[in-house]
Amino acid sequence: RELEVALRFALEHDEFVLHYQPKVDLVSGKIEGFEALLRWERPGHGLLFPGAFIPALEETGLIVLVGKWVIGEACRQIGVWMRGGIGPVRVAVNVSGRQFVEGDLYGNVTQAIHRNAIRSDLLELEITESSLMENTELTVAILQNLRKAGVTVSIDDFGTGYSSLAYLRRFPINKLKIDMSFIRDVTSNVDDASIVLAIISMAHSLHLQVVAEGVETAEQLRYLREHECDQMQGYYFSRPVPATGVEQMLYDGK
């Protein structure tokens, strides 16, 4: 209750910020884009991570308003980088299942793109496999419209939500992100390795790109590259950083 009041206040007083974690192309070694991750600069509490407040946002339904803010902020930042000489930067935002059911996700996205005069393909939406499994019909219909508008769509935390192959074929998506729980021991656990290899081959047969999450070691990186995973994201390359860190990273050509 107290947290809910503080979260409403935070939204109205600009206490939320986005940090950005790069996704790296495993062939070229170049940064392909960034995932925007929500942070709360709560006065007197320091920088809070999603684990401390996303559950409350979900329970209270505030995630719909905060999710709209995230989309607007990501598009604003893409526009600033575009016009500030940094160039086109791809940004992926996390979208809660509630944003498809309540709120006007399609309107929020298209408005933010137009208002900031950015290319629609620079915005990517990440939706978890499990939220895609709820309200599937409605979610798929909205995603189809977003794809028509030129937005990129990824399934997040893939492998944890038990979607069937038949489902996957129907989803209007561009990418699968393999959940980091399968990447952790991919070089030592044969079961995890088989799951990862199966996901990569299934994704490629459906013409989807595959991103490995939570890559922390050179061994994992080498394994994924050898097995033709397309992109990786993880602490091995970079932790999530503030917007100024993105500029530095792109400037360094890292």
Question: Binding residues for Mn ion, per CB under 5 A?
Answer: 156-157, 213
The residue behind tokens 């007197």 is 44
Question: Which helix (DSSP H) or strand (DSSP E) does residue 95 occupy?
Answer: strand 91-95
CB of 35 to Na ion, least distance (A): 6
Residue closer to ligand G by CB (options 63, 109) is 63
How far does CA 205 lie from the centroid of its chain?
23
Per partner kind, with CB cut-offs from 5 to 8 A, the member of Mn ion, Na ion, ligand G, none near residue 238 is none
In the structure encoding, which two tokens stand for residue 1, read together?
A: 């209750």
Residue closer to Mn ion by CB (options 118, 183) is 183
Name the site residues for ligand G (rule: CB under 6 A): 21, 37-38, 49-51, 54, 63, 67, 70, 93-94, 96, 156-157, 180, 213-216, 234-235, 240
CB of 157 to Mn ion, least distance (A): 4
CB of 174 to ligand G, least distance (A): 16
Residue closer to Na ion by CB (options 116, 154) is 154
Q: Is 4 exposed, middle or buried (0-12, 13-18, 19+ CB in 10 A)?
A: middle
Q: Write the interaction track for Na ion spanning residues 143-162; mark x where CB under 5 A is met and - where it is not.
A: -------------x------
**CA-based nearest residue to 34, from 229, 176, 242:** 242
Strand partners, 17: 39
Q: Answer yes or no: are the C-beta atoms of 150 and 183 closer than 8 Å.
A: no
